[in-house]
Structure 1
Amino acid sequence: MRRLTALLALLPLAACGSLDGLFAGEDGPVIVCPRILPVVEAEQMTRFVADGRDLTEVDFRARLADVRAECVADEEEIELTLQVMLSASRGPANAEGAAGFSYFVAVATRDEQILARDEYQVGIPFEGNRTTVGLLDEVDVEIPLAEGQTGREYRVFLGLALTPDELEWNRQNR
């Protein structure tokens, strides 16, 4: 299991927000889990061989297919378990029979200041004559809370780790 821990103790953060993911105890304060947000421009990638840009030079395509989260929260900490579903499709120039890439998980404040970010490497083999394969990866995220804080102050962003050229390709080919 992979783990990302955000160290957030001394940050001035705003209060209030949406009530999505509300966790409340009868005797304790209301604890809200953070929103999980895929980064739209980093939900998919097209990786080419060398400096290619022709469709015959596609090594593979990958995408962030889905994210599911389980949240356990109390006054001291939020623990998220993210199930990250990825898929890859083999391109005509894929000689390796596999797709290797990374995705990221980042914890940020409501105003999108990144507090912690980690990348996770994945390898997806195209066995036999398979051209599209899926993978389920699990990541644990721990967010310590200062007194009075809830998950309302945080966002968790996910996306594929793109090169500048891959990001530009995504922007041009929406």
Structure 2
Amino acid sequence: MLRRSHPYIGTFARACLPLSALVGLGGCGSMGLSAPTPTELALACPKVAIVRDLQTVTQFRPGAGRDLTDVESRAALVDYAGNCEYGSDGVTVNVNLFLVAERGPALQGSQAKYTYFVAMSKPGQDQPAIKTAFDTTVDFPAGKNRAGNREELNPRIPLPKDVNAKDWAIFIGFQLTPEQLEYNRKQLEQPVVK
């Protein structure tokens, strides 16, 4: 898999809602909105999904404190878009993944680092056949509390020519510690205030 990170600070990041509001947006990306041709129906793209429990990460400063003043940063995988290309020896899935981060009061410096993963599962299997982790850094410009990246991913599924990859699945999420996962799950249990 290849990955390049691109700062994504323009309209997307400026127009972002608070990260808590972005959680519901994961997985709204598309692998193509136009009507497929008969050939494309025969050779469709794998399913891509951002894992709900692993869609956000909150980083706290070292120590026992876990209130808002202890937050270094928060980030969310908010959307994706892309396509796939069939070749003679497999399928390349081109995914643009959008990550938005918010600086917390405890962050020292102007950067936050995150690790996310891409996992691929074969048809009929629950466990990933391949899982790769990637590190990325978000730079917060002076005076800005939000910034983001567009991550370009190109996972490749090795398949014989003309074998359909439509039943493969690609899962994306943050690589979390057990404590971060527990924090996310507690946040998801909170009622939404309107």
Q: What TM-score comes out, normalization by structure 1 length?
A: 0.80
2:95 is equivalent to residue 82 of structure 1: yes
d(CA) in 2 for partners of 1:50 and 1:157? Answer: 30
Instruction: Determine which of 32, 57, 61 is the counterpart of 2:44.
Output: 32
Between the aligned residues of both structures, percent identity stands at 30
Aligned pair partner of 1:166 in 157, 161, 180: 180
| Pick aligned residue for 1:41 from 53, 56, 63 | 53
Query: Higher strand proportion, which one?
Result: 1
Match of 2:8 in 1: none
Rounded to whole Å, the distance in 1 between the matches of 2:108 and 2:54 is 25
SS of match in other structure, 2:154? strand
Q: Does 1:72 align with 2:85?
A: yes
CA contact (8 A) 1:44 1:61 kept: yes
Aligned residues: 156
| Greater CA drift, 74-83 or 110-119 | 74-83
| 1:112 pairs with one of 126, 143, 156 | 126
1:155 matched residue in structure 2: 169
Q: In proportion to residue count, which structure has more helix? A: 2
CA RMSD, 1 decimal:
2.3
Structure 1 unaligned runs (5+)? Answer: 4-19
**Which of residues 84, 107, 116 is equivalent to 1:103?**
116
In structure 1, C-alpha distance between the alignment counterparts of 2:96 and 2:61, rounded to whole Å:
30
Give the conservation status (yes or no) of the 8 Å contact 2:43–2:162.
no
How far off its partner does 1:75 sit?
6.2
Change (3 A) 1:112 1:148: farther
Residue 2 (str. 1) matches residue 2 (str. 2): yes
Q: Find the aligned partners of 2:141 and 2:162 in 1 and give their Cα distance.
A: 51
TM-score after normalising by structure 2: 0.73
Displacement after TM superposition at 1:24 (Å): 4.4
